[in-house]
């Protein structure tokens, strides 16, 4: 039993069913709950735009209210470098143990090792535990393709508990919130904690597999921003999905697969997973890239998706694949550029998931289908047949004929001209990928 401990909230902003918070409470006389806006991350990844900051702020306030009902106090929020802040708190309050849930990825592992080493010299322990993943990388054999991984993943016995906190004593501190502009950040207009609670309760549906690709209906959970900061635990979501949708469970496994890949192959963060495609000659045309970012490619399905991202900080999963394929196969722009753009916009940005999804879309991943090219015209016709999704984000098209909206090459729209011809760019993409493949197989 420790006299005084810290619980460090990270990507687990919730009170209920929080594994190592539970351990901290049950193994300490007093606990100081903290969250740190890590200055090492914020400038590097640029992920705290105003709307993102507001989402994180509300998630923290929501968790703090839950905590206050138990402790009578809230989470103490800091801004700075964890490797400086935590040792300072350990020294000032004579902390004996820092509890936190395990983080993955190159930076996070190194950060935790640095913190642990610093507080070790202050006679303080650093304890972390699995909470973010159902299956950790060391619990299954390494696999580079999803299907073999999924079969192994399904064989692991998951923990199905949901942990309830007892009443306990919070360590009193004179520290105040130090995160700048924490209170005055503007509210996000779409994603709120109330919205997340409703989606968790009602939108993990049996019809998920049937509806998830249709852009025009409300067929997916929209829970990904809440997944990112685990407003709900992975166990809560899995326990709900396993009785509802096998396809939804498969998506949870995909998420874990990407984290395992990130853990086992950290070098591919900045280079293509497939060596044969590490010499692709990307054009990286700045004008075309900006047109893509602004939703002005004049392929309505692509532009609607980008406008959805820019206005809501979120994008439908099918739309993500369409815009990613278009950027790499039609505009021939490096996947790293748009990975960075999505990192700056997405509320649900998760480095591991974003990196590997984009590599998959760029066909530089270990995909059974070597060169996957999405035709924006066919994607539009198939997944937004009545252009409901497109018209929502491009209202100028409200009175246009459907054939013109779906196929702007054959049926010119009155106010636009497509910046590239998909038919021609597809041929060029095949040659670009073939050249890289030939070079690396000969070498």
Whether pLDDT at 62 is above 80: yes
Whether pLDDT at 151 is above 80: yes
Whether pLDDT at 440 is above 80: no
Share of the chain above pLDDT 70, in %: 89
**Whether the Cβ atoms of residue 105 and residue 262 lie closer than 8 Å to each other:** yes
Distance of alpha carbon 351 from alpha carbon 275, whole angstroms: 21
User: Which of 367, 140, 361, 172 is CA-nearest to residue 260?
Assistant: 140
pLDDT at 150: 96
Token output for 369: 């289908």
**Whether the Cβ atoms of residue 196 and residue 223 lie closer than 8 Å to each other:** yes
Residue 269 or 8, more confident: 8
User: Which of 419, 428, 417, 375 is CA-nearest to residue 287?
Assistant: 419
Element (H, E) at 422: helix 422-442
Query: Would you give the distance in Å from CA 402 to the centre of its chain?
Result: 33
Average pLDDT score over residue span 381-396: 97
Average pLDDT score over residue span 64-73: 84
Q: Find the Cα–Cα–Cα–Cα dihedral 272, 275, 281, 284, rounded to 10°.
A: 0
pLDDT digits (tens, 9 = 90+) for 84-132: 999 999 999 999 999 999 988 778 889 999 999 999 999 999 999 889 9
All domains in the chain, ordered by first residue: 2-132 (3.40.50.620), 193-264 (no CATH), 267-442 (1.10.579.10)
Average pLDDT score over residue span 401-427: 86
How deeply is 419 buried, as exposed, middle or buried, from its count of CB atoms within 10 A (0-12, 13-18, 19+)? middle
Model confidence at 67, pLDDT cuts 50, 70, 90, reads: confident
Distance of alpha carbon 40 from alpha carbon 60, whole angstroms: 20
Beta-carbon contacts of residue 15 (< 8 Å; ≥ 6 apart):
21, 63, 66, 67, 70, 165
Distance of alpha carbon 363 from alpha carbon 278, whole angstroms: 11
Average pLDDT score over residue span 5-10: 95
- Pinpoint the alpha helices (H) of 133-273: 146-155, 193-202, 208-211, 224-228, 234-241, 246-264
Model confidence at 437, pLDDT cuts 50, 70, 90, reads: confident
Token output for 198: 């409703």
Model confidence at 173, pLDDT cuts 50, 70, 90, reads: low
Model confidence at 166, pLDDT cuts 50, 70, 90, reads: low
**Whether the Cβ atoms of residue 267 and residue 52 lie closer than 8 Å to each other:** no
Query: What's the whole-number average pLDDT of the chain?
Result: 88
pLDDT at 267: 82
Q: Which residue has the tokens 């999505």?
A: 342
Token output for 333: 């722009």
Distance of alpha carbon 404 from alpha carbon 393, whole angstroms: 16
How deeply is 191 buried, as exposed, middle or buried, from its count of CB atoms within 10 A (0-12, 13-18, 19+)? buried
**Whether the Cβ atoms of residue 256 and residue 156 lie closer than 8 Å to each other:** no
Whether pLDDT at 261 is above 60: yes
3-class state of residue 361 by DSSP: helix
pLDDT at 178: 46
Model confidence at 183, pLDDT cuts 50, 70, 90, reads: very low
**Whether the Cβ atoms of residue 108 and residue 51 lie closer than 8 Å to each other:** no
Distance of alpha carbon 390 from alpha carbon 396, whole angstroms: 10
Model confidence at 254, pLDDT cuts 50, 70, 90, reads: very high
pLDDT digits (tens, 9 = 90+) for 37-51: 888 776 444 445 667
Beta-carbon contacts of residue 181 (< 8 Å; ≥ 6 apart):
53
Model confidence at 439, pLDDT cuts 50, 70, 90, reads: low
Average pLDDT score over residue span 267-274: 85
Q: Which residues of 236-268 are buried (b: 16+ CB within 10 A; e: fewer)?
A: bbbbebeeebeebbbbbbbbbbbbbbbbeeeeb
């Amino acid at each position: 039993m420790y006299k005084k401990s810290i619980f460090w909230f990270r990507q687990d902003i919730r009170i209920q069913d929080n594994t190592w918070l539970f351990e901290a409470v049950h193994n300490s006389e007093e606990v100081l709950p903290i969250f740190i806006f890590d200055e090492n991350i914020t400038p590097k990844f640029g992920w705290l735009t105003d709307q993102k900051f507001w989402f994180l702020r509300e998630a923290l306030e929501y968790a703090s209210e839950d905590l206050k009902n138990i402790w009578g106090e809230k989470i103490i929020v800091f801004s700075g470098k964890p490797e400086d802040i935590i040792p300072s708190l350990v020294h000032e309050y004579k902390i004996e143990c820092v509890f936190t849930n395990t983080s993955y990825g190159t930076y996070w592992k190194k950060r935790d090792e640095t913190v642990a080493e610093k507080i070790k010299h202050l006679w303080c322990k650093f304890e972390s535990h699995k909470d973010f993943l159902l299956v950790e990388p060391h619990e299954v054999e390494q696999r580079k393709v999803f299907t073999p991984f999924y079969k192994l993943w399904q064989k692991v016995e998951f923990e199905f508990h949901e942990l309830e906190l007892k009443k306990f004593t919070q360590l009193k501190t004179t520290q105040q919130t130090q995160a700048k502009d924490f209170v005055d950040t503007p509210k996000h207009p779409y994603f709120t904690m109330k919205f997340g609670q409703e989606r968790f309760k009602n939108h993990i549906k049996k019809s998920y597999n049937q509806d998830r690709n249709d852009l025009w209906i409300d067929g997916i959970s929209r829970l990904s921003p809440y997944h990112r900061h685990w407003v709900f635990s992975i166990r809560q979501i899995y326990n709900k999905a396993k009785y509802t949708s096998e396809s939804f469970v498969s998506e949870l496994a995909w998420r874990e697969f990407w984290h395992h890949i990130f853990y086992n192959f950290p070098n591919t963060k900045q280079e293509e997973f497939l060596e044969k495609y590490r010499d692709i000659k990307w054009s990286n045309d700045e004008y075309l890239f900006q047109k893509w970012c602004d939703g002005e490619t004049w392929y309505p399905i692509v532009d609607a998706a980008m406008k959805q991202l820019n206005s809501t900080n979120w994008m439908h999963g099918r739309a993500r694949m369409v815009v990613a394929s278009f950027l790499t196969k039609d505009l021939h722009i490096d996947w790293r550029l748009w990975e960075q753009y999505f990192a700056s916009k997405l509320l649900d940005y998760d480095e591991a998931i974003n990196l590997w999804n984009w590599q998959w879309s760029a066909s530089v991943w270990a995909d059974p289908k070597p060169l996957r090219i999405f035709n924006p015209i066919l994607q539009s016709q198939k997944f937004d047949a009545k252009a409901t999704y497109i018209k929502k984000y491009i209202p100028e098209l409200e009175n246009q004929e459907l054939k013109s909206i779906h196929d702007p090459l054959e049926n010119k729209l009155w106010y636009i001209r497509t910046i590239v011809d998909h038919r021609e760019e597809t041929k060029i993409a095949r040659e670009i990928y073939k050249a890289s493949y030939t070079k690396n197989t000969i070498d």
